[in-house]
């Protein structure tokens, strides 16, 4: 396994800028996620690592070794394709053996490695099957076994779960993490599913318009998004315009003035020091807001309850303030559901849950 | 870095197409417009249009083309609609048998048709024995025999239209039709307002190929002794090719007419073929026709197929007959003609020649075809569209034109004379001619295969350490093998059946391919027709096996092969 360094990677497709000066270091053995909406450049970046694209500018390094111009078949990466790309004219065993044959391993070793890889994904008994005799979930595992059999320096996964049904997807999620960690392989995983990323990633990068918006651990990114777009992409978010007042402490705590009065919140970017009076945005997660009838609370938003939805494990409410902005609130494990009766209610959040972001 | 070899291939193929496709055409056209001392002239073209004989020839060629297309359309359209819309008894078998006419070179079929419809043929013996006895039976083939030529062409060519129409009907999303039904459109109006307009591109694509084919058909009018038609006039003009520019002018006129028609069909229906709007998202419902209606459909199919195999029956019977004049069936049967045909000095060498020519041409086509298809489908090289267009164009250029061009450019003193071996051996130029003419079929089938094969299957192999060339051998070629074999079989069997290149380029007996041997045997005194038929039957058996294989491998996709 290797560490991967990406330096100033830039790529144009015609006149579209697909990658815009991307810089990134992925540690050896790390499970790293590239997350972003479709068209953000995450798959393009992954295909650069695999070598299917050559960058216009910039460098790719595996363990300090420059591989920018190395053709794909000499990189020793293994990619799991969204469509799995299993060869229909070969059996399960032949598919898994393919990469080993290309590495000219002795036959006996190939056979034992194929068996070992198939057992790892719990398909040891299906080596002689044809690909089209397998279910979607089984195909997905064969693709994983084929990738891991060659002991790649890096495993590249391109939305590997997007073709599975919801239940199987949950099952395979944990399975992939278990297997990757068992092999200790450096894995780069592309997805647009934030749940998948939060669940599996050691660290992740959120991408937008060909550039990286933020890199961090799942908790970092979820709790301390540096921009409104990252906050909106990971999890749900309510935004409230404000003017910065002052850093009050302790730590990153600060105050800002809104149409709903004074709010105490947390600056998510430690390198950012807004000046008093500067316009900012407050970001409030629905699950961080609490619905209450008390009129006199800190960090309070007043409004009317206009919608309520019961979802079993949680209840979702919509509250509209006098200016017409709608705030979404969710309550976990609701004992009862309040009717959407236009009654006047209050929303409140702990200072640590109010994120102060650039406007 | 990795693009360099690809550019090399691209250049090589463009060069080859330039030398052996563009240059012969250019050479012919130039001769048609050049004065003896050099300089541009329209004099020869003017002479053609001033000469009533040539004018009549052109008029007849147009009639031949229009008649053949109309006839083929009348035969093919009802069958295609029946088979696309309904299930009925024996459909699978009948659907395969529809292709039977393709297995016999039409000019061989002519022998059979003359035996059946001729003044002393089987039909007259069956219908009007009294007139036969009196010596003035009806002449079914009509005045000047143009009707016979048209009939023969239509019967030979309707499968091409049938394949095109069924392919384009099969590609239609049934939802398009259902939407109209849902909006209250009755079946018959749906056919006129939805189905037919959507099937039009396929229909027109097929029709334009049939039209060009009919316009430039040489073998059939030649065998019907119908000289006043342009292709035959060109063929006759070859003897004086050295000094006379008129054959060149005739060829140039044919070329322009064919290309205009081809461009017209492209402009009218575009290259998009409506496919983008209407790919089938689900299988079409084909209701089964029950009882009498089902058998009626079967009967309609069978009778057209029966009509289409009449020439084949005629040829087979002729090859087995001791004597067949003024009787419904031959008066006696014998295998003597097969023995005679085999012992004839022309036969065995011609079979071997044909196998060599067609085999080598096919090998060349496969190598070129895969490379071209790969460049067009898998790379973004500038110039790949030009390559695609060039590779498909031989479908629209009459074989006669190319054959003439090859002959002209390999004459003594011309730049490609070195291709002619010792003793005027046209070996290489025939192989090249066969290869260029059939290249579109192989390119089409290979690129169809590549388009259906996901790129990620190749990327997965490279990603696992396989070099690009090994990926081609281990992954790509096995995956598109069925398409390649089908394209190659087609190229090979059409090579074996080749008429215009063969008749024009092979001048000496020892270089004759099988079609020219059949043509020459037919002209032999005595039992010539029977000998030619015997050789024709052999070719028929051989080709039915290859075409059956193609059909099995390709299924419905076969229709796509006959499009440009």
Same domain, B351 and B451: yes
| Three-class SS state of A37 | coil
Write down the pLDDT at residue A135: 87
Chain-chain contact of B461 with A98 (C-beta, under 8 angstroms): yes
pLDDT band, very low/low/confident/very high, at A249 (cuts 50, 70, 90) = confident
Does B305 reside within a domain?
yes
The Cα of B111 is separated from the nearest Cα of chain A by a number of Å equal to 47
Chain-chain contact of B459 with A85 (C-beta, under 8 angstroms): yes
Same domain, B371 and B307: no
Please give the structure tokens belonging to residue A112: 């034992």
Q: Among all residues of chain B, which has the CA nearest to that of A144?
A: B460
What digits encode the pLDDT tens for the residues A144-155?
899 888 888 999
β partners of residue A59? A7
Residue with tokens 């084929």: A146
Q: Among all residues of chain B, which has the CA nearest to that of A99?
A: B464
What digits encode the pLDDT tens for the residues A219-228?
999 999 999 9
Closest CA to B547 of B563, B558, B535, B538: B558
Q: Is the fold of A4-222 the same as that of A236-358?
A: no
Write down the pLDDT at residue B132: 62
Report the largest interatomic distance among the alpha carbons of chain A, rounded to a whole angstrom. Answer: 77
Looking at the partner chain, which of A69, A78, A103 has a beta carbon nearest the beta carbon of B463?
Answer: A78
Same domain, B300 and B350: no
Q: How far apart are the first and last CA of chain A?
A: 41
Tally of residues, chain B? 564
Write down the pLDDT at residue A225: 93
Q: Which residues of A touch B479 (CB under 8 A)?
A: 87-89
Q: Among all residues of chain A, which has the CA nearest to that of B478?
A: A89
**What's the rounded Cα separation, in Å, for the pair A328 and A319?**
7
What digits encode the pLDDT tens for the residues B329-348?
777 777 787 887 777 777 78
| Three-class SS state of B429 | helix
Does B2 reside within a domain?
no
Write down the pLDDT at residue B283: 45
Range of weakest confidence among B232-236, B422-426, B438-442, B506-510: B422-426
Please give the share of chain A, as a percent, with pLDDT higher than 90.
45
Same domain, B296 and B376: no
Bridging pattern class, strands A31-35 and A203-208? parallel
Angle at A104 between CA A101 and CA A105, to 5 degrees: 90
**What's the rounded Cα separation, in Å, for the pair B161 and B167?**
10
The Cα of B438 is separated from the nearest Cα of chain A by a number of Å equal to 28
pLDDT band, very low/low/confident/very high, at B282 (cuts 50, 70, 90) = very low
Report, as an integer, the average pLDDT of B285-289.
68
Chain-chain contact of B464 with A150 (C-beta, under 8 angstroms): yes
**A-side interface with B, Cβ within 8 Å?**
50-52, 69, 71-79, 81-83, 85-89, 98-99, 102-103, 146-147, 150, 156
What digits encode the pLDDT tens for the residues B177-190?
666 666 667 777 77
Going across the sheet that includes A65-66, the strands are A16-26, A4-13, A57-62, A65-66
Q: Which domain covers residue B365, as residue numbers?
A: 335-564
Same domain, B298 and B386: no
Query: Could you confirm whether domain A236-358 is CATH 3.40.50.2030?
Result: no
Is residue B356 over pLDDT 70? yes
pLDDT band, very low/low/confident/very high, at B276 (cuts 50, 70, 90) = very low
Q: How far is CA A258 from CA A223, A318, B343, in A?
A: 22, 20, 107
Report, as an integer, the average pLDDT of B264-292.
57
Is residue B492 over pLDDT 60? yes
Mutate to test the interface with A, among B457, B460, B482 (most CBs of A within 10 A): B460
Does B18 reside within a domain?
no
Is residue B2 over pLDDT 60? no
What digits encode the pLDDT tens for the residues B69-97?
999 999 888 888 888 777 888 777 787 77
Same domain, B401 and B316: no
Same domain, B359 and B303: no
CATH number, domain containing residue B107? 1.10.3720.10
- Residue A156 dihedral angles phi and psi, to the nearest 5°: -115, 125
- Residue A61 dihedral angles phi and psi, to the nearest 5°: -125, 135
- Angle between the B399-409 and B230-237 helix axes, to the nearest 10 degrees? 10
Mean of all residue pLDDT scores within chain A: 89
Chain-chain contact of B468 with A88 (C-beta, under 8 angstroms): no
Write down the pLDDT at residue B143: 56
Chain-chain contact of A150 with B479 (C-beta, under 8 angstroms): no
CB pairs under 8 A between A and B: 72
Mutate to test the interface with B, among A75, A98, A160 (most CBs of B within 10 A): A98
Report, as an integer, the average pLDDT of B23-40.
81
What lies within 8 Å, CB to CB, of A359 at 6+ separation is A241, A278, A279, A280, A281
- Residue A301 dihedral angles phi and psi, to the nearest 5°: -115, 125
Q: Among all residues of chain A, which has the CA nearest to that of B464?
A: A99
Same domain, B130 and B250: yes
Write down the pLDDT at residue B174: 65
Q: Among all residues of chain A, which has the CA nearest to that of B474?
A: A98
Write down the pLDDT at residue B390: 83
**What's the rounded Cα separation, in Å, for the pair A202 and B63?**
77
Please give the share of chain B, as a percent, with pLDDT higher than 70.
85
What would the DSSP string read from start to end of A114-139? HHHHHHHTT-GGGTTSBGGGS-HHHH
Q: Which residues of A touch B2 (CB under 8 A)?
A: 71
Report, as an integer, the average pLDDT of A118-129.
88
Helix (H) or strand (E) holding A189: strand A186-191
Write down the pLDDT at residue B275: 40
Closest CA to B176 of B27, B43, B289, B284: B284
Write down the pLDDT at residue B273: 43
Chain-chain contact of B478 with A89 (C-beta, under 8 angstroms): yes
Domain residue ranges of chain A, discontinuous segments joined by +? 4-222, 236-358
Chain-chain contact of A102 with B464 (C-beta, under 8 angstroms): yes
Write down the pLDDT at residue B80: 86
**B-side interface with A, Cβ within 8 Å?**
1-2, 454, 456-457, 459-468, 470-471, 474-475, 478-479
- Is residue A240 within 8 A of residue A347, CB to CB? The reply is no
Chain-chain contact of B466 with A98 (C-beta, under 8 angstroms): yes
Looking at the partner chain, which of B457, B465, B467 has a beta carbon nearest the beta carbon of A85?
Answer: B457
pLDDT band, very low/low/confident/very high, at B241 (cuts 50, 70, 90) = low
Q: How far is CA B56 from CA B52, B63, B229, in A?
A: 6, 10, 7
Write down the pLDDT at residue B278: 38
Chain-chain contact of A99 with B475 (C-beta, under 8 angstroms): no
Does B23 reside within a domain?
no
**What's the rounded Cα separation, in Å, for the pair B111 and B137?**
19
Is residue B281 over pLDDT 50? no
- Residue A237 dihedral angles phi and psi, to the nearest 5°: -150, 140
Write down the pLDDT at residue B332: 74
Bridging pattern class, strands A238-247 and A253-258? antiparallel
What digits encode the pLDDT tens for the residues B508-561?
778 888 888 888 888 776 677 788 888 888 878 877 777 677 666 666 555 555
What digits encode the pLDDT tens for the residues A165-221?
888 888 888 888 888 888 889 999 999 888 889 989 999 999 999 999 999 999 999
Q: Which residues of A touch B460 (CB under 8 A)?
A: 79, 81, 85-87, 146
Same domain, B316 and B380: no
Tally of residues, chain A? 359
Same domain, B357 and B404: yes
Same domain, B304 and B343: no
Write down the pLDDT at residue A270: 87
Range of weakest confidence among A38-52, B135-149, B433-447: B135-149
Write down the pLDDT at residue A57: 92
The Cα of A107 is separated from the nearest Cα of chain B by a number of Å equal to 17
Write down the pLDDT at residue A250: 79
Is residue B280 over pLDDT 60? no
Give the dihedral sign, CA B176/B180/B186/B190: negative
Across A229-243, A294-308, B283-297, B445-459, the highest mean pLDDT is recorded for A229-243
Range of weakest confidence among A9-18, B8-17, B430-439, B534-543: B534-543
What digits encode the pLDDT tens for the residues A53-90?
889 999 999 999 999 988 888 888 888 888 888 888 88
Does B20 reside within a domain?
no
pLDDT band, very low/low/confident/very high, at B274 (cuts 50, 70, 90) = very low
**What's the rounded Cα separation, in Å, for the pair B343 and B324?**
23
Chain-chain contact of B1 with A79 (C-beta, under 8 angstroms): no
Does B329 reside within a domain?
no
Radius of gyration from C-alpha coordinates of chain B: 25
Mean of all residue pLDDT scores within chain B: 79
The structural architecture, per CATH, of the domain A4-222 is 3-Layer(aba) Sandwich (3.40)
Bridging pattern class, strands A211-216 and A57-62? unpaired
Report, as an integer, the average pLDDT of B438-467.
85
Q: How many domains does chain B have?
A: 2
Chain-chain contact of B457 with A102 (C-beta, under 8 angstroms): no
The Cα of A79 is separated from the nearest Cα of chain B by a number of Å equal to 7
Report, as an integer, the average pLDDT of B367-390.
85
Chain-chain contact of A83 with B459 (C-beta, under 8 angstroms): no
Across B371-380, B445-454, B506-515, the highest mean pLDDT is recorded for B371-380
What digits encode the pLDDT tens for the residues A303-345?
999 999 998 888 999 999 888 899 999 988 888 888 888 888 9
Chain-chain contact of A50 with B463 (C-beta, under 8 angstroms): yes
Range of weakest confidence among A339-343, B230-234, B382-386: B382-386
Calculate the dihedral angle through the C-alpha atoms of B198, B199, B205, B211, rounding to the nearest 10 degrees.
Answer: -130
Write down the pLDDT at residue B497: 80
Q: Which residue has the higher pLDDT, B116 or B279?
A: B116
């Amino acid at each position: 396994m290797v560490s991967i360094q990406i330096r100033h990677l830039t790529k144009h497709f015609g006149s579209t800028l697909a990658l815009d000066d991307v810089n990134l270091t992925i540690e050896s053995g790390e499970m790293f996620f590239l997350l972003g909406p479709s068209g953000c450049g995450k798959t393009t970046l992954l295909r650069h690592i695999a070598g299917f694209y050559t960058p216009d500018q910039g460098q790719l390094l595996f363990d300090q070794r420059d591989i920018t111009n190395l053709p794909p078949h000499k990189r020793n990466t293994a990619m799991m394709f969204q469509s799995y790309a299993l060869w229909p004219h070969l059996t399960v065993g032949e598919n898994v053996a393919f990469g080993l044959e290309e590495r000219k391993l002795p036959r006996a070793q190939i056979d034992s490695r194929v068996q070992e890889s198939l057992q790892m994904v719990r398909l040891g008994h299906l080596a002689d099957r044809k690909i089209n005799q397998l279910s979607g979930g089984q195909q997905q595992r064969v693709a994983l076994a084929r990738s891991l059999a060659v002991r790649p320096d890096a495993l590249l996964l391109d939305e590997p779960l997007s073709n599975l049904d919801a239940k199987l997807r949950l099952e395979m999620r944990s399975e992939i993490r278990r297997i990757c960690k068992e092999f200790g392989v450096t894995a780069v995983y592309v997805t647009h599913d934030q749940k998948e990323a939060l669940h599996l990633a050691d660290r992740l990068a959120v991408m937008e318009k060909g550039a990286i918006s933020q890199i961090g651990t799942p908790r970092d990114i979820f709790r301390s998004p540096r921009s409104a777009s990252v906050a909106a992409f990971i999890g749900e978010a309510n935004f409230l315009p404000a003017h910065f007042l002052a850093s009050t402490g302790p730590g990153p705590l600060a105050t800002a003035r809104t149409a709903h009065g004074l709010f105490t919140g947390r600056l998510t970017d430690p390198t950012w020091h807004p000046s008093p009076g500067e316009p900012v945005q407050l970001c409030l997660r629905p699950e961080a807001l609490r619905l209450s009838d008390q009129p006199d609370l800190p960090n309070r938003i007043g409004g009317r309850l206009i919608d309520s939805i019961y979802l079993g494990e949680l209840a979702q409410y919509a509250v509209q303030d006098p200016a017409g902005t709608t705030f979404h609130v969710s309550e976990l494990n609701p004992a009862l559901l309040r009717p959407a009766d236009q009654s006047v209610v209050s929303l409140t959040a702990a200072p640590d849950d109010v994120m102060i972001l650039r406007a | 870095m990795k693009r360099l070899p690809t550019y090399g291939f691209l250049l090589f193929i463009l060069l080859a197409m330039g030398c052996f496709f563009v240059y012969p055409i250019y050479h012919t056209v130039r001769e048609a417009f050049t004065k003896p001392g050099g300089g541009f002239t329209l004099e020869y073209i003017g002479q053609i249009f001033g000469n009533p004989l040539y004018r009549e020839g052109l008029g007849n060629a147009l009639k031949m083309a229009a008649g053949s297309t109309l006839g083929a359309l009348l035969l093919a359209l009802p069958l295609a609609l029946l088979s696309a819309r309904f299930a009925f008894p024996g459909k699978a078998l009948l659907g395969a048998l529809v292709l039977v006419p393709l297995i016999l070179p039409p000019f061989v079929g002519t022998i059979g048709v003359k035996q059946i419809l001729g003044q002393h043929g089987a039909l007259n013996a069956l219908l009007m024995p009294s007139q036969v006895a009196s010596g003035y039976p009806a002449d079914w083939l009509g005045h000047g025999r143009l009707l016979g030529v048209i009939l023969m062409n239509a019967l030979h060519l309707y499968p091409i239209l049938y394949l095109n129409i069924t392919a384009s009907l099969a590609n239609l999303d049934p939802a398009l039709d259902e939407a109209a039904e849902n909006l209250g459109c009755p079946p018959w109006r749906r056919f006129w307002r939805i189905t037919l307009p959507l099937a039009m591109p396929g229909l027109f694509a097929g029709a334009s190929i049939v039209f060009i084919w009919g316009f430039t058909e040489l073998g059939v009018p030649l065998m019907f002794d119908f000289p006043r038609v342009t292709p035959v006039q060109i063929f006759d003009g070859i003897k004086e090719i050295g000094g006379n520019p008129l054959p060149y002018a005739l060829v140039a006129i044919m070329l322009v007419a064919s290309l205009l028609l081809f461009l017209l069909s492209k402009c009218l229906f575009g290259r998009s073929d409506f496919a983008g709007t209407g790919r089938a998202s689900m299988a079409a419902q084909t209701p089964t026709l029950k009882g009498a209606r089902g058998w009626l459909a079967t009967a309609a199919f069978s009778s057209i197929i029966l009509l289409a195999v009449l020439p084949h029956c005629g040829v087979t019977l002729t090859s087995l007959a001791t004597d067949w004049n003024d009787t419904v069936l031959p008066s006696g049967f014998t295998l003597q003609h097969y023995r005679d045909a085999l012992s004839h000095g022309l036969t065995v060498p011609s079979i071997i020649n044909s196998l060599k020519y067609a085999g080598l041409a096919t090998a060349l086509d496969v190598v070129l075809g895969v490379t071209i298809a790969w460049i067009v489908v898998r790379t973004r090289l500038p110039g790949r569209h030009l390559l695609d267009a060039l590779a498909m164009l031989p479908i629209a250029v009459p074989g006669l034109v190319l054959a003439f061009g090859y002959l002209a450019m390999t004459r003594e003193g011309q730049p490609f004379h070195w291709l002619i071996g010792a003793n005027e051996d046209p070996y290489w130029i025939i192989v090249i001619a066969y290869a260029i003419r059939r290249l579109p079929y192989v390119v089409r089938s290979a690129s169809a295969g590549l388009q259906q094969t996901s790129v990620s299957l190749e990327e997965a192999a490279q990603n696992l350490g396989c070099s690009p060339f090994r990926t081609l051998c281990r992954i790509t070629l096995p995956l598109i093998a069925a398409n390649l074999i089908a394209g190659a079989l087609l190229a090979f069997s059409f090579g074996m059946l080749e008429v215009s290149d063969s008749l024009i380029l092979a001048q000496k007996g020892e270089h004759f391919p099988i079609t020219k041997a059949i043509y020459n045997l037919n002209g032999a005194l005595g039992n010539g027709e029977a000998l030619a038929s015997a050789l024709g039957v052999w070719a028929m058996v051989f080709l039915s096996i290859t075409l059956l294989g193609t059909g099995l491998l390709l299924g419905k996709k076969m229709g796509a092969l006959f499009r440009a």
